[in-house]
Structure 1
Amino acid sequence: MLTVGDHLPEFALQATVGIDSPNTAFKDLTDKSYPGKWLVVFAWPKDFTFICPTEIAAFGRMNGEFSDRDAQVLGLSTDSEFVHFAWRRDHADLRDLPFPMLADVKREFSAALGILDKNEGVCLRATFIVDPEGVIRHVSVNDLSVGRNPEETLRILDGLQTDELCPCNWTKGEETITIP
């Protein structure tokens, strides 16, 4: 699995960006699609499951806060763009998602990240925070049975963006650690 200090692998994937029309619902995205931005890439195992929509909807509700920090959220699974489209259309909490859902049907990006579950062959619940230079600055991975906390992802992004030492449970606006 890639870790802190590694570079985000190159990718070119089809993404579902809406449900208004099949003509505008899909977009080609690459690792270069958001120059100068932080990326928050979070992966889930499968569409049409139980824990995944709770996480995806939570990231969606917080998307404005990530945007305010010059970060682009990108969802990722090995499902196709058409499955993403159907899920967004059919699940009330996902209809108005403000971020793209990447379709890694060949599993190349997921494999390059090192996040494919060895038994199931689907993405683990992995989250990567990537700086504007493409360097991975944070990685977390949960078991398939436990959802993650987007508020914690935002807190970590805030800490990384200070370029200072942030103590345990630090939140934006609090003092950082200074070394005498």
Structure 2
Amino acid sequence: MLSRDYIFFLAIPALRGFRGFLSEARQIYRQSQCRIFKIYLITNECNVIFAPSKATNRLSVNQKREIFIMKNVILSVGSEFPEFKKTAVVSIEKGKEFYELSSEELKASGKWMVMFWWPKDFTFVCPTEIAEFNKHAQDFADRDAILIGASTDSEFVHAAWRRDHEDLRNLQFPMLADTSKSLATELGILEANEKVAYRATYIVDPQGIVRWVSLYDLSVGRSVKEVLRVLDALQTDELCPCNWNKGEATLSA
């Protein structure tokens, strides 16, 4: 049970209206048994958080809104991956650069999905990761997994970067453009100050359920081989010990 000395923040889409707001407020009130001192209606699609009232009662509404948005909970293992429909860059050939990619299409494929995020295009650590994922693109395909790269840059910035950077011109996977930052917000992976995505990686099974998440600091590149190792382990559907690698014995319960 939550402490009763809490302010309750609830954000709902504007289109749901005030009745939807009150209905959701009552429902969460009953579930949490938390006394609602104040309710702030914020028409942004963000997560629900609770903040100590003594720490926030002197802040302006805008400051409270910032606290709310920056404390999104990271979508974790066992959750359903959010639905989305975004433009992706799939080629640098003129007229064939863009493709509308959706979660519905991915789920219909019956395959695993590996989505990795980077903070910004035209930076330094990011292309080393993207190039390394590209080197292993066939390894992911061999494991029946669809590989997708993503950031909050626009599709036009993605396309320009691919043309400009030698290591990115022949990518074998789409670069998703989450320009509105809606998907990154739902995943809870936006960095508080720059509002860019952390180096997050999601492995999602064919049913659309998150099976593994990793999150790296903006300055540290991740290991693609570790992503493959975890994917291999998940696909065994067995108990895999520490440092397990494909081909090694699994454990018996």
TM-score by length of 2: 0.70
- Structure 1 match to 2:89: 16
**Candidates 118, 126, 134, aligned match of 1:44:** 118
Name 1:73's counterpart in structure 2: 147
Structure 1: 5+ residue stretches without partners: none
* Aligned Cα root-mean-square deviation (Å): 0.6
Alpha-carbon displacement from aligned partner over 1:13-34 (angstroms, at most 9, x marks no partner) = 000001011x111000011222
Q: 1:142 aligns with which of 192, 201, 216?
A: 216
Structure with greater proportional helix content: 2
**Post-superposition, which runs of at least 4 consecutive aligned residues in structure 1 deviate over 4 A?**
none
Other structure's SS at 1:153 match: helix
- Identity of paired residues, percent? 58
The reply on whether 1:103 has 2:168 as its aligned counterpart is no
Q: How many matched pairs? A: 178
TM-superposition CA deviations, 1:40-67 (whole Å, max 9, x none): 0000000000000000000001000000
Show the counterpart of 1:82: 156
Q: Is the aligned partner of 1:2 residue 2:75?
A: yes
- TM-score, normalized by length of structure 1? 0.98
Aligned partner (choices 16, 32, 45) of residue 104 of structure 2: 32
Q: Name stretches of at least 5 consecutive residues in structure 2 with no aligned partner.
A: 1-73
Letter in 2 for 1:24: K
CA distance in 1, matches of 2:133, 2:91: 16
**How far 1:119 moved relative to its partner?**
1.1
Distance 1:33 1:81 in 2: 19
Q: Deviations over 1:84-143 (max 9, x none)?
A: 001011101000000000000000000011100011100000000000000000000000
